[in-house]
Amino acid sequence: MKKGLIQDAELVSNYIKGDENSLSLLIQRHKQKIYSFIYSKVYDRDITEDVFQDTFIKVIRTLKLGKYNEEGKFLPWVMRIAHNLVIDHFRKNSRMPKFDNTGEFSIFSVLSDSSLNAEKTIIKNQVESDVRRIIEELPADQKQVLMMRMYQDMSFKEISERTGVSINTALGRMRYALINMRKVIDQNNIVLTN
């Protein structure tokens, strides 16, 4: 039988049965597509190599553990794994910036631009205006306590003195203000994250 004629599904099933050579054929057959796919996302040879390796480690483990189901095709499944790992890579990198080991010192590795970019500024403004609109919906007593606490940074003791209610009442109003705001946010499916 010619090697090229064996379908992926058959190679996968042979591999699960213990034929290690099938894995080699599968890797040889698809390595370029998968590698190029990863490279097109990360644009770095070393990272591509890592992600490629992690992809196949996952493939091997899944196949050996018998968790692979034959519903889809092999290549799209591997591509999906690679895609997820690329996303993981970018997530990890945004939390922990890469150390660029080129031997040159880069000032940008210790400096960060803390100012918001245009998109984030717009989102921030939207979130703030949404929050203000929700606060406007609150009953007057709750709104008063919340404004004093959050925007004027007053303590509950000061709030109770200013409004002439006990500290416990002020705390209660704050609590209900937050509960009511959450309710409005849930009811209207408002997204307040950036």
Partner 1 sequence: MAKIYSETTPKNVNLKPKDETISFLLNYSKALSVINYNKLKFEALLN
Report in angstroms how near the CB of residue 40 gets to partner 1 at its nearest.
9
Nearer to partner 1, 39 or 176 (CB): 39
Decide: is 11 part of the binding site for partner 1 (CB under 8 A). Answer: no
Q: Of 38, 26, 28, 41, whose CA–CA distance to 73 is shortest? A: 26
Using CA atoms, how far apart are residues 34 and 55, in angstroms rounded to an integer? 9
CB 55 within 8 A of CB 34: yes
Nearer to partner 1, 65 or 110 (CB): 65
Residue 81's SS3 state is helix
Residue 14's SS3 state is helix
Report in angstroms how near the CB of residue 43 gets to partner 1 at its nearest.
7
* Lookup: tokens for 34: 């998968």
Q: Which of 6, 14, 27, 141 binds partner 1 (CB under 8 A)?
A: 27
Residues numbered 33-72 forming contacts with partner 1, rule: CB under 8 A? 35-36, 39, 43, 48-49, 52-53, 56-57, 60-61, 64-66
Q: Of 15, 10, 16, 18, whose CA–CA distance to 66 is shortest? A: 16
Positions that interact with partner 1 (CB under 8 A): 20, 23-24, 27-28, 31-32, 35-36, 39, 43, 48-49, 52-53, 56-57, 60-61, 64-66
